[in-house]
């Protein structure tokens, strides 16, 4: 590999003879794949993306070369496509326009760029991509991905990256006084165990593998009702010295609609961190034990976060590691128990994955899968519209919106609208035909409103995670989701050319918003109630409207105060929307206190009980059958990036994005957030009513810095700055400053406060 790179540097050194002041593009993507050489692409017109160098400011032109050999990648020799100079600033999703590509072929591409300051780069290092079968007529559903054996024992996926085994050393490996061995690894993985063993004769041993340990250096062997990882495995060690891969009992989740099967070229895997190996004393010796961890492709350096609060750093690290360790099946799913994708689980995992890594192919695949394989909760269906929209904002991939437009329209649950203008699953609209249009294969009675999960209790009389929500014919939470879908479908209709639908969805969203507030808002109390036929008000009936911008400005204060009064009266799923609601209402201090709480309902409790991934529920006390590897509990990963540090796209692909920090009482924070155009970096020091920020804006992008209006003196790179505009945001006013590509030092203060 090193020789190949050196050769490519030599070859590409002669491609551009002009002054090479500008750094060459990096971060190449082919059809949104970071490593297309470890996949096959089934799109006969693949799309190319790259990171334009920040020092170049704005891109003015590019030139793409595509060839059947890396040695043909030069101007005038590229045998498949030489785009020649294209005077455009587009650097994301550039469609191939060369000679027709062959199915099952291998190609290389490279790109060079020019800046608006007249600088020209060298060509990027070449990127290999493989084409697969362009005929997709035999698919079971759009976007299906099959395994392809590129060469002997080299299996790759169609149109997405793959998982591979990493071999990790233990942090503790000791011989026990009573015989046998105890092995502890740094964190749980979903994988198996390998080791070297020497036996005097054929010897039986028992292995205990699990996610929990006891204080006496043994594996916790009684998972109870939980699904916390544990297995006992019997093995025969053969006479002599041999290498072993532990054969875990095959996973066979029954009773679930759409469980994913592990590819046969992978060993069976399970979640574990600790191992006991027990056998006859003196009959065998163990060496070189390793976790064989099945990790989906993940770039550790793509994101980082440090801050002045140690607990928040622990929580963020927990959530980031969850993004690395849980997508082992190549799809966002519920973890290891059911191995089944669920819409809400996938949406939260996708948001956090985007905040931690520059990875998009698994999101595309999961969206396509779930559009055709629905689960049972009402709100879960509407998550598909939210998921497709957030994927588009990250990637600019309009093709998915076009191809799945009618499916997304149905997933808005517009078909459940009755004469009142609200939607309901209880007024006769939930027919078998309607459910089949959503690709839901179950019985009509299985399809129902969820609000939160679990709905029923754990130990000690716990009544579930719905804060006593009272279900009525017209459900506040369900209709809050529906309004968000109407808003987003109006935007999607506009983007995809469904002009008649644009006005329909925009008018329907406006009317539904008015009706929502007239029906569900209790004006006397200043808060929302659970439904039209009850006076009960739960946390959920208030946090979802706040999260979806349904609360009129004059009611934000009373709704926020009620939300704060309920604490964390929701599940780990609900915490995503609770935190969004708090930040939307300008309640950063309370959101921060929840993310750093050490109560039983907290992320620190997940760490305290011994998990190294986010758990399915706050604790076994609330959900006795929980797992310790469920990414829907990873909200702080995306909330820290999107809300606390305030980095969110305003236009697709982060061509324009917002930086609007809400640090609350947090004094220092430093974050690196991956985007398709390159990392956004922001450091904030929040002391003495002053902010000092260091911001890095990627090349070929622009940022809007939204600062609290109380800061009336803002200095950017040693110059007094004037805002472009003022916006109402997060419960208050913000002054907006425009930043082009580059690095900025910002000092902001209220001149009246000394």
Residues 6 or more apart in contact with residue 711 via CB below 8 angstroms: 691, 735, 748, 749, 750
Token pair of 138, please? 């035999």
Token pair of 269, please? 């895997």
DSSP-derived secondary structure letter, 442:
S
Query: In terms of Cα–Cα distance, which of 329, 330, 342 is closest to 257?
Result: 342
Superfamily of 653-749 according to CATH = Maltose phosphorylase, domain 3 (2.60.420.10)
CATH assignment, 163-296: 2.60.120.260
DSSP-derived secondary structure letter, 29:
E
What's the number of CA atoms in the CB half-sphere (13 Å) around residue 594?
31
Distance between first and last Cα of the chain: 59
Please list the ranges in the chain whose pLDDT falls under 50.
1-20
Write down the domain spans for the chain: 2-138, 163-296, 300-644, 653-749
513 Cα distance to chain centroid = 29
Q: What is the pLDDT of residue 19?
A: 43
- Scored b (16 or more CB within 10 A) or e, 702-716 reads bbbbbbbbebeebeb
Q: Structure pTM?
A: 0.96
Among the four given CATH numbers 3.30.450.40, 1.10.510.10, 1.10.3720.10, 1.50.10.10, the one describing domain 300-644: 1.50.10.10
DSSP-derived secondary structure letter, 33:
B
Q: What is the pLDDT of residue 684?
A: 98
Q: What is the DSSP string of 162-212?
A: -EEEEEE--SEEEE-TTSSEEEEEEEEEEEEEEEEEEESS-EEEEEEEES-
Query: In terms of Cα–Cα distance, which of 150, 370, 359 is closest to 260?
Result: 370
Q: What is the pLDDT of residue 753?
A: 67
Angle between helices 539-547 and 476-495 in degrees, nearest 10: 10
Q: What is the DSSP string of 114-170?
A: EETTS-BBPPPPPEEEEB-----TT-SSTT---EEEEETTEEEEESS--EEEEEE--
d(Cα 530, Cα 676) in Å, to the nearest integer? 40
Among the four given CATH numbers 3.40.50.2000, 2.40.110.10, 3.40.190.10, 2.60.40.10, the one describing domain 2-138: 2.60.40.10
As a residue count, the chain comes to 754
Sign of the dihedral defined by the CA atoms of residues 89, 93, 97, 98, in that order: positive
Q: What is the DSSP string of 616-653?
A: SSS-TTT-TT--S--GGG-HHHHHIIIIIS-EEESSGG
Q: What is the pLDDT of residue 492?
A: 98
Angle, vertex CA 616, rays to CA 465 and CA 632, nearest 5: 95
């Amino acid at each position: 590999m090193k020789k190949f790179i050196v050769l490519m540097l030599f070859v590409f050194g002669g491609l551009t003879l002009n002054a090479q002041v500008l750094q060459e593009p990096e971060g190449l993507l082919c059809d949104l794949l970071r490593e297309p050489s470890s996949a096959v692409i089934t799109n006969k017109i693949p799309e190319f993306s790259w990171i334009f160098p920040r020092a170049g400011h704005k891109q003015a032109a590019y030139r793409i070369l595509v060839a059947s050999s890396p040695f043909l990648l030069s101007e005038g020799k590229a045998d498949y496509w030489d785009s020649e100079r294209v005077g455009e600033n587009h650097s994301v999703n550039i469609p191939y326009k060369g000679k027709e590509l062959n199915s099952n072929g291998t190609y290389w591409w490279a790109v060079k760029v020019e800046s608006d300051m007249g600088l020209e780069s060298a060509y990027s290092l070449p990127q290999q991509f493989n084409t697969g079968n362009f005929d997709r007529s035999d698919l079971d559903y759009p976007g299906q991905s099959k395994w392809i054996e590129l060469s002997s024992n080299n299996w790759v996926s169609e149109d997405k990256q793959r998982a591979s085994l990493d071999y990790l050393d233990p942090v503790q490996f000791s011989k026990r006084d009573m015989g046998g061995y105890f092995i502890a690894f740094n964190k749980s993985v979903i994988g198996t165990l390998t080791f070297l063993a020497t036996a005097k004769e054929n010897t039986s041993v028992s292995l205990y593998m699990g996610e929990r340990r006891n204080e006496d250096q043994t594996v916790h062997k009684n998972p109870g009702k939980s699904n916390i990882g544990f297995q006992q495995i019997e093995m025969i060690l053969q006479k002599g010295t041999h290498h072993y891969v532990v054969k875990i009992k095959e996973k066979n989740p029954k009773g679930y609609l759409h469980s994913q099967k592990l590819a046969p070229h992978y060993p069976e895997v399970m979640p574990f961190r600790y191992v006991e190996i027990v056998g006859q004393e003196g009959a065998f010796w163990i060496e070189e034990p390793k976790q064989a961890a099945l990790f989906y492709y993940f770039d550790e350096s793509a994101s980082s976060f440090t801050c002045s609060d140690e607990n928040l750093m622990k929580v963020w690290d927990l959530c980031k590691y969850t993004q690395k360790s849980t997508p082992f099946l190549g799809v966002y799913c519920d973890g290891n128990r059911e191995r089944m994708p669920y819409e809400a689980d996938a949406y939260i995992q996708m948001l956090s994955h985007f905040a931690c890594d520059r990875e998009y192919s698994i999101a595309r695949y999961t969206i396509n899968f779930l559009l055709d394989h629905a689960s049972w909760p009402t709100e879960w269906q509407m998550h598909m519209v939210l998921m497709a929209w957030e994927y588009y904002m990250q990637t600019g991939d309009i093709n998915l919106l076009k191809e799945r437009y009618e499916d997304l329209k149905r997933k808005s649950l517009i078909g459940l609208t009755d004469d009142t203008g609200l939607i309901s699953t209880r007024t006769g609209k939930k027919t078998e035909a309607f459910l089949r249009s959503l690709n839901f294969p179950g019985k009509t009675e299985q399809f129902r409103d969820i609000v939160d999960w679990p709905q029923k209790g754990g130990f000690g009389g716990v009544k579930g995670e719905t804060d006593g929500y009272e279900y009525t014919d017209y459900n506040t939470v369900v209709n809050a989701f529906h309004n968000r879908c109407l808003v987003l479908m109006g935007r999607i209709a506009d983007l995809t050319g469904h002009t008649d639908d644009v006005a329909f969805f925009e008018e329907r969203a406006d009317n539904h918003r008015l009706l929502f507030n007239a029906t569900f808002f209790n004006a006397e109390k200043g808060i929302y109630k659970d439904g039209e036929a009850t006076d009960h008000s739960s946390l959920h009936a208030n946090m979802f409207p706040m999260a979806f911008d349904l609360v009129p400005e004059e009611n934000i204060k009373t709704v926020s105060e009620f939300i704060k009064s309920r604490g964390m009266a929701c599940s780990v799923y609900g915490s995503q929307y609770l935190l969004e609601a708090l930040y939307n209402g300008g309640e950063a201090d309370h959101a921060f206190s929840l993310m750093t709480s050490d109560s039983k309902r907290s992320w620190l409790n997940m760490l305290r009980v011994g998990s190294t991934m986010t758990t399915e529920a706050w604790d076994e006390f609330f959900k006795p059958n929980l797992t310790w590897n469920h990414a829907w509990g990873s909200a702080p990963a995306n909330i820290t990036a999107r809300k606390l540090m305030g980095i969110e796209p305003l236009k697709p692909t982060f061509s324009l994005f917002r930086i609007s920090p809400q640090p609350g009482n947090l004094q220092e924070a430093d974050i690196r957030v991956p985007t398709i155009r390159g990392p956004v970096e922001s450091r904030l020091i929040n002391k003495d009513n002053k902010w000092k920020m260091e911001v890095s804006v990627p090349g070929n992008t622009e940022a809007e810095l939204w600062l609290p209006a109380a800061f009336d003196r803002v200095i950017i790179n040693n110059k007094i700055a004037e805002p472009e505009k003022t916006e109402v945001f997060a419960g208050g006013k913000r002054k907006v400053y425009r930043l082009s590509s580059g690095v900025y030092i910002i000092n902001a203060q209220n001149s009246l406060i000394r």
